[in-house]
Amino acid sequence: MIDDTRRLLQDLVSPDLKALQVQVAALEKLVNERFNGMQTNIGSQLQAVEMKLSGQLSALEGKVDSNHASVLNSLNLDRRIERLEVALSSAATDETGEETRRTMSPLRYKTTASQAAAAPAAEPEALEAGAE
């Protein structure tokens, strides 16, 4: 009787079990295909976004470079620096070849060595009081 019951269960359950196994295998295959499709789709979208951002970054870098060049050109820094260098080198010596002492601005205030010698010297007490 136990053997008959076992055969009966195998005859009834076995085909259903095999059918369920086939369905599970089909579902696994379908899920894997969809997952791979989504992965490919996401990868291509990510690549498109990277390309777009790369293009925008290049355009932004170009704008920054052109604005930087425009600012430098509008300020004429090269010419200003050149004029300052010329003024500083010419301020180092005056027409008579005497050295100058630059006080506030080398372009406006020139004091020759002879003018500095003629100016009254500060008293030592005043210098010491100023140092404290």
More confident residue, 109 or 80: 80
Domain residue limits, the chain: 2-75
Q: How confident is the model at residue 55 (pLDDT cuts 50, 70, 90)?
A: very high
Percent of the chain with pLDDT over 70: 70
Structural element, H or E, at residue 29? helix 2-75
pTM over 0.75: no
Distance of alpha carbon 29 from its chain centroid, rounded?
A: 46
Q: In this predicted structure, what is the pLDDT of residue 77?
A: 78
Taking only the tens place, the pLDDT of each residue in 90-132 is: 877 555 455 555 444 444 444 444 444 444 444 444 444 444 4
